[in-house]
A and B are shown apart, each in its own frame.
Chain A
Amino acid sequence: DAKTTQPPSMDCAEGRAANLPCNHSTISGNEYVYWYRQIHSQGPQYIIHGLKNNETNEMASLIITEDRKSSTLILPHATLRDTAVYYCIVVIRGGGSEKLVFGKGTKLTVNP
């Protein structure tokens, strides 16, 4: 599975959009981009995933560049409860590579 690079930490003001970047320059054509977050002391929580099209759900939006070498997770109106570590992971979906490998992620702090 391709490796990802994320900034170790970011800050965001409450109510503003939080844009979390992820580089995955070695991503292959059949690898999906997944995002998880982990609020302190809790288990990781799935947020969203995508292949090449932009995706949106009730939690966030995922923007994937046309060359698929990077992506951005957008929390449109960050709240204090969005303070967490956010993990970007690339993995083959349903292709036999069943392991989800977590990196160090980005610690997002939402400030009042």
Chain B
Amino acid sequence: DAGVIQSPRHEVTEMGQEVTLRCKPISGHDYLFWYRQTMMRGLELLIYFNNNVPIDDSGMPEDRFSAKMPNASFSTLKIQPSEPRDSAVYFCASRGRPEDTGELFFGEGSRLTVL
């Protein structure tokens, strides 16, 4: 299994531009999580999906952030418009069985720099 795949690995953009981060979870995993990591705030859960349905988006910072999961094998996290304070590493993670609450498989992350 290739694990959780994220793209792009690195993104540098200018303030005001739209950013789209992509994630392919492990096949068969029903849960997908988006985390953001910064030095100041550590790892923060932004949103998670179960069977392609957003369950909890209380961590999404503001309306500039949106996430979708059109099918079981693909999710996007979009920031529009981007701001310098959005600079962070964004991780996607997936999980299989519901009883495996704590066993997440993380991707390698997408490092975003907004100038």
Contacts and interface: CB of A to CB of B under 8 A. Distances in A.
Interface of A: 32, 34, 41-46, 49, 89, 91-95, 97-104
Interface residues of B, number: 26
B103 A98 contact: no
Given A43-B93, A49-B102, A99 B107 contact: no
Nearest to A49: B102
B100 to A, nearest CB: 8
10 contacts: A32-B101, A34-B102, A42-B109, A43-B109, A44-B43, A49-B103, A91-B102, A93-B101, A99-B56, A102-B35
A93 B42 contact: no
Interface centre among B4, B56, B104 (most CB of A within 10 A): B104
Contacts of B104: 44, 46, 100
Interface of B: 4, 31, 33, 35, 42-43, 45, 48, 50, 55-56, 89, 91, 93, 98-109
A99 B109 CA distance: 19
Q: In terms of DSSP, what is the predominant structure of the interface of chain B?
A: strand
Q: In terms of DSSP, what is the predominant structure of the interface of chain A?
A: loop
Contacts of A91: 101-102
Contacts of B89: 41
B105 A46 contact: yes
A67 B33 CA distance: 32
B42 A97 contact: no
A98 B105 contact: no
A103 B43 CA distance: 8
A9 to B, nearest CB: 15
Contact of A97 (B93, B99, B101): B101
Nearest to A95: B101
A93 B109 contact: no
Given A43-B108, A43-B109, A100 B42 contact: no
A91 B102 CA distance: 7
B45 A92 contact: no
Contact of B48 (A89, A93, A94, A98): A98
B45 A99 contact: yes
Which 5 A-B pairs rank lowest in CB-CB distance, beginning with the nearest?
Answer: A43-B106, A94-B99, A34-B102, A102-B43, A93-B101
